[in-house]
C-alpha cells in the first residue's frame, strides 16, 4: 500500500503534507505534488494534513490513474521536504472539478534540492546557539 496525491492538489498545492512526511517522499510539479510509491512507508500522516483532501490510500477504488501519475512524475520532478506557501489563489481552486484536464502541468516545480540536506540544514539552524 502507498498513498497517492489526486487531482484536487492541482493548483492548490498546499504543502502541509510535505512538512509531516517522515521519509520525504513528496515530489513537486509546477502546480501539484506527487508521492513516490516506493519511498512512501504507508504511515498515513500526510492524509489528514491535506487541506484540499487530495491524498488517499491506493487501496481506495478508482485510483489506478493517480498511482501511475504519482509514480511516473516522482521519477522526474524534484524532491520537496520543506513546506512553502501555497499559491495565492489556492482556495479558489479547491474543489474545482476536472482539474486534471483543465490545469495539470507536467513541468517540474522548484523543489528544495536534496530533501535530506534541507531537513538537516533546518535542524542545524534550530539547535545552533
Residue 113: predicted pLDDT: 66
Grid cell, residue 68, equals: 501511475
pLDDT at 128: 43
Percent of the chain as helix, strand, coil, to the nearest 5: 35, 10, 55
At residue 28, the pLDDT reads: 98
Mean pLDDT, each 10-residue run in order, the chain (129 residues): 96 96 98 98 97 96 96 98 95 96 97 52 41
User: pTM of the prediction?
Assistant: 0.85
Is the CATH number 3.90.1150.10 carried by domain 3-127?
Answer: no
Triad 55, 57, 62: Cα angle to 5°? 90
Query: Domain coordinates of the chain in residue numbers?
Result: 3-127
Amino acid at each position: 500500500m502507498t498513498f497517492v496525491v489526486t487531482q484536487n492538489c492541482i493548483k492548490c498545492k498546499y504543502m502541509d503534507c510535505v512538512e509531516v512526511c517522515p521519509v520525504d517522499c513528496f515530489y513537486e510539479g509546477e502546480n501539484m505534488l506527487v508521492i513516490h510509491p516506493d519511498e512512501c512507508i504507508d504511515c498515513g500522516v500526510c492524509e489528514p494534513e491535506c487541506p484540499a483532501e487530495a491524498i488517499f490510500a491506493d487501496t481506495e477504488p478508482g485510483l489506478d490513474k493517480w498511482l501511475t501519475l504519482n509514480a511516473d512524475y516522482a521519477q522526474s520532478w524534484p524532491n520537496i521536504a520543506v513546506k512553502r506557501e501555497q499559491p495565492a489563489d489556492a482556495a479558489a481552486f479547491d474543489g474545482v472539478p476536472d482539474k486534471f484536464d483543465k490545469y495539470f502541468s507536467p513541468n517540474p516545480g522548484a523543489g528544495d534540492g536534496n530533501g535530506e540536506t534541507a531537513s538537516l540544514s533546518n535542524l542545524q539552524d534550530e539547535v545552533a546557539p
